[in-house]
């Protein structure tokens, strides 16, 4: 099937220019317009139209599928995607899965019905393989962001979560903590497994005894159930520090500890993955690993557009380092816990 990218490449212009010619919007030099129209005729290109819309115009549509756009982590991905997409003549639709495979499947169906040009997706987990297979069968290019999926060979932009997790836990060890708990997302998710892997590597390097009682699987959305806090505190040797997955977990854990009259960091140190918005984090005490999430979106979209245009002949992986910020949520353990 001939695409707008094919026309743009043959005519030697941008996709945005072809879009302007097709829609009749925006300024295009007359000589360029005639050249694009001639190429469209030569290639027998027929503009796509939304079957559910009354808009009779070409749509160059990218879809961003994320767990929750209210999470600043994904908001920055969305902004990075939109900035690159608009420069290249694409519009962006955003869908939230709430880490739910059924919702993810429904939005994949939407992508098929819209005949989307491409999809940037933060997959729910390993079971997303079937949903991604639907995109592959429909020949809709996609790029994975933040998470990989087992046995799916695709372009991906993600952080070096394993190394960042290792450094966060090492920081707690360097402060003198011996009992360190971890709260992850579901271990069926690649990014959660990397957090867990970094945690275990740090313990092993310093010959710490691994204790399964200190490992908690929770959700990484707003709906964190903090009853695990009481279970951790009730252990014969409770943790003096916690490594939690993201700021939603951090906020819930922070409040739960305060409600139990525990001080941070005097009674419990906490490290996490944090918000890349330095303005929003100006008064935050969270010691955290900050990932360049805007770049996840911008670079992921660039890879996606290149994939749409048919340029790459192999899959590509971009791994970006996190920036560690050591703040007031960590301190040496109180002598009473030693």
- What average pLDDT does range 119-126 have in this prediction? 97
- What average pLDDT does range 106-115 have in this prediction? 90
236-289 per-position pLDDT tens digit: 999 999 999 999 999 999 999 999 999 999 999 999 998 777 666 666 899 999
Look at residue 260 in the predicted model and tell me its pLDDT.
96
Does 80 or 338 have the greater pLDDT score? 80
Maximal CA-CA distance, the chain: 80
293-316 per-position pLDDT tens digit: 999 999 999 999 989 887 777 899
- Residue 167: which residues within 8 A CB-CB, separation 6 or more? 198, 289, 324
- Do 78 and 121 form a contact (C-beta atoms < 8 A)? no
- Whole-angstrom CA distances from 281 to 72, 158, 168, 172, 240 are 11, 22, 18, 21, 24
SS (H, E, C) 176-215: CCCCEEEEECCCCCHHHHHHHHHHHHHHHHCCCCCCHHHE
Q: Going by DSSP bridges, is the β-strand pair 323-325/287-290 parallel, antiparallel, or unpaired?
A: antiparallel
Say if residue 338's pLDDT is above 80. Answer: no
- Do 111 and 325 form a contact (C-beta atoms < 8 A)? no
Domain locations along the chain: 161-291+324-337
Does 170 or 8 have the greater pLDDT score? 170
Query: Phi first, then psi: what are they for 283, rounded to 5°?
Result: -110, 20
- Do 335 and 307 form a contact (C-beta atoms < 8 A)? no
CATH architecture type of domain 161-291+324-337: 3-Layer(aba) Sandwich (3.40)
Look at residue 177 in the predicted model and tell me its pLDDT.
97
């Amino acid at each position: 099937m001939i695409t707008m990218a094919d026309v743009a490449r043959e005519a030697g212009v941008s996709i945005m220019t072809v879009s302007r010619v097709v829609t009749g919007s925006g300024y295009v030099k007359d000589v360029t317009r005639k050249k694009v129209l001639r190429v469209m005729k030569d290639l027998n290109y027929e503009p796509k139209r939304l079957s559910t819309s009354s808009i009779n115009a070409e749509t160059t549509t990218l879809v961003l599928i994320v767990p929750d756009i209210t999470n600043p982590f994904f908001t920055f991905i969305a902004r990075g995607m939109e900035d690159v997409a608009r420069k290249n003549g694409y519009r962006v639709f955003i869908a939230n899965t709430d880490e739910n495979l059924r919702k993810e499947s429904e939005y994949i169906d939407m992508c098929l019905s819209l005949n989307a040009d491409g999809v940037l997706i933060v997959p729910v987990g390993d079971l997303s393989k079937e949903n991604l297979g639907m995109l592959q069968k429909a020949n809709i290019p996609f790029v994975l962001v933040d998470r990989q999926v087992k046995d799916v060979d695709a372009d991906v932009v993600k952080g070096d979560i394993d190394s960042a997790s290792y450094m966060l836990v090492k920081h707690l060890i360097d402060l003198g903590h011996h009992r360190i708990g971890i709260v992850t997302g579901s271990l069926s998710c690649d990014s959660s497994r990397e957090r867990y892997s970094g945690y275990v590597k740090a313990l092993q390097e310093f010959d710490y005894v691994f204790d399964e009682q200190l490992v908690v699987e929770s959700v990484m959305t707003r709906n964190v159930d903090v009853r695990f806090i009481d279970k951790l505190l009730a252990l014969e040797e409770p943790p003096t520090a916690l490594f939690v997955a993201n700021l939603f977990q951090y906020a819930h854990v922070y409040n739960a500890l305060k409600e139990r009259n525990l001080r941070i960091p005097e009674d419990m140190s906490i490290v996490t993955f944090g918000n890349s918005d330095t303005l929003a984090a100006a008064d935050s005490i969270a010691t955290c690993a900050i990932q360049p999430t805007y770049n996840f979106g911008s670079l992921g979209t660039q890879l996606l557009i290149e994939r749409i245009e048919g340029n790459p002949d192999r899959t590509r992986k971009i791994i970006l380092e996190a920036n560690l910020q050591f703040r007031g949520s960590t301190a040496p353990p109180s002598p009473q816990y030693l």
